A and B are shown apart, each in its own frame.
Chain A
Amino acid sequence: MTSATIRLDDVTKTFDGRVLAVDGVTLDIAAGEFFSLLGPSGCGKTTSLRMIAGFELPDSGRVHVAGRDITDLPVHKRDMGMVFQSYALFPHRTVAENVAFGLRMREVPKPDIERRVKAALAQVALTGLEERKPGQLSGGQQQRVALARALVVEPPVLLCDEPLGALDRKLRQQMQFELKELQKRLGVTLVFVTHDQEEALAMSDRIAVMNHGKVEQVGAPTEIYERPRTRFVADFIGEINILEEAGRARALRPEKIRLVPPAEARVAGTIETANFLGGSTLYRIRAADGRTLLTRETHAGERSPRAPGDPVGLAWSDSDAVALEA
């Protein structure tokens, strides 16, 4: 399968002349990359994706795919795949007809259509459900049909807008693996919209964190997690301690703080709450100077011996406290 680069070049989109949904976004997405747009509700993820798909025309800026400027190309000529949060399956058509739709539009010969629909449904483990209507499928099955429908045309680009959002947690995790695996196997460039940071961290090659229509940071999951550039990114991804030192904010992940005997401590304090999380425990510690700090301690097997009220010492290395942009 082919894949293509995507480039958003200083793209801006306003709705009704008032709502600035996307504000000067520039992104370079490599061919075959699993790329996530991550951010809170209303930050402009969907709007960005819809501009790539061609549903929205940017007010300014250009959209390139495979090096070609497609800003003014109508949707149906862009040759992309898309999976919607609501799946948007054709309710009046069977599963097989849904999947065959894109091939029909491309005037693929009938026997080829049959063969490819069969293969696509096998790929998402839906063999045998060809003649059902979408209304007769479970949410997970509908999701797979939507995926098969988008992928069967072998698009160089696959756009997914919170495709797993409607699934329960268990199914969602399973689909995360499957989708990731499928994307790698096919080599398609995948733009994935989500507001779930765990999902983005787990699946993506790279993530763009968005806020108020702007991209705050682009990077690999580890980079985003360990080296957040802004306070927003640091705060949005996982738990964080923000240390104000010499007028400069630094971000320190809870697991980078060690619990040590009070003598070796940089800061002393007492445990306020202890949240058992399975493989680890998250403590909230009231420091002697009045600050509240989070630390995470992993432990194998038995429960942590510490309890609220215990006095503890905290230590970390300066290199783990990442300086944030003002």
Chain B
Amino acid sequence: MSAPLQTIRNKQPFDAGRAAYLTLNGLLLAFLLAPIAIVLAFALNPTPYISFPPVGVSLRWFEKFFRTPEFTNALLLSLWIAGCVLVLSIVIGGACALALARGNLPGRSFLTAFFMSPLMLPAILTGLALFQSYLLVGIGRPVWGLILAHTLVAVPYVIRTTLAVLHNFDRRIEEAAAVLGASPTRVFFEVTLPLIRPGVFAGGVFAFIVSFDQFPVSLFLVVPKGETLPVVLFNYMKFDLDGAIAAASMVSILLALSVVLVLERLIGLKAYVKL
């Protein structure tokens, strides 16, 4: 089958436009990936200070990272918090987006703007405001307070991606299900939910990363022995500026990447592109 196809395929003439396009793409990609490459170089470089060019390759900073309980505990805490934020913001953000798109609420555009507002508010203010309100209410700074704070800044991402899907949603599909005998609840679970899921989960991935990387909101809300990874890294940097920071960054990047990949596998984020 393929052999004759290949023989009859026309030779592509050299196309300057296409070459320029590919070069540009290549450059952009290099621009985006260069910082990661630099961090990796620092993480593998054995000297206790950041030296350029790197003098060798060693895993000592990765070893230090994984052998330091402060780092590993913070990493686990950050993962756990980001996981909770993922779940919470999917549920809250998905519900909000549905209400905004479908609810026939009065002042819908105002509400949309309102729900998006944490995206516009400097996160450090969100953190400070929550810190003060928690202390005022007298609940201290429990982990769930931190989760709540992260959720607050993460939910708009889910609302956004879900609204985008709902915007292009053909409601006839839901009507078709209803005529076929599906009650409104069944329509929601059989049709609406599966179809908006890619949007919700794409937002969820953002939410996860927003939480996992969150520094300004966490700054005021972490408690002693309950510091998230970005906060621990920041404080570590003030006293020991060595490759462990770079190793931690690499570990974070890889973890975030694997979460995205796993979610992609599980629910097919690609479908989002198709919708």
Contact = CB atoms under 8 A, between A and B. Distances in A.
A164 interface: no
A105 B190 CA distance: 10
Contact of A90 (B177, B178, B186): B177
Given A91-B195, A92-B195, A80 B177 contact: no
Sorting the interface of chain B by its residue count into under 10, 10 to 19, 20 to 34 or 35 or more gives 20 to 34
B34 interface: no
A81 interface: yes
Contacts of A82: 175-176, 179
Contact of B179 (A75, A90, A106): A75
Nearest to A155: B179
Q: Which of B170, B181, B274 has the most CB of A within 10 A?
A: B181
Contacts of B184: 76
A149 B173 CA distance: 13
A102 interface: yes
Contacts of B187: 76
A90 B191 contact: yes
Interface string A46-90: 000000010100000000000000000011111111101010111
B179 A80 contact: yes
B181 A88 contact: no
Sorting the interface of chain A by its residue count into under 10, 10 to 19, 20 to 34 or 35 or more gives 20 to 34
A101 interface: yes
Contacts of B179: 53, 75-76, 78, 80-82, 150, 159
A106 B176 contact: no
Contact of A102 (B172, B181, B274): B181
A88 B180 contact: no
A314 interface: no
Contacts of A86: 170, 172
Contacts of A88: 170, 172-173, 175-176
A81 B182 CA distance: 13
B170 A76 contact: no
Contacts of B12: none
A316 B175 CA distance: 52
A149 B175 contact: no
B260 to A, nearest CB: 21
Nearest to A101: B180
Nearest to B174: A88
Interface of A: 53, 55, 74-82, 84, 86, 88-92, 101-102, 105-106, 135, 149-150, 153, 159
Q: Which 7 A-B pairs have the closest CB atoms?
A: A105-B181, A102-B180, A88-B172, A88-B176, A75-B178, A82-B179, A88-B173
29 contacts: A55-B175, A55-B178, A74-B183, A76-B178, A78-B179, A82-B175, A82-B176, A82-B179, A84-B175, A84-B176, A88-B170, A88-B172, A88-B173, A88-B176, A89-B176, A90-B177, A91-B195, A92-B195, A92-B271, A101-B180, A101-B182, A101-B190, A105-B180, A105-B182, A149-B176, A149-B180, A150-B180, A153-B180, A153-B181
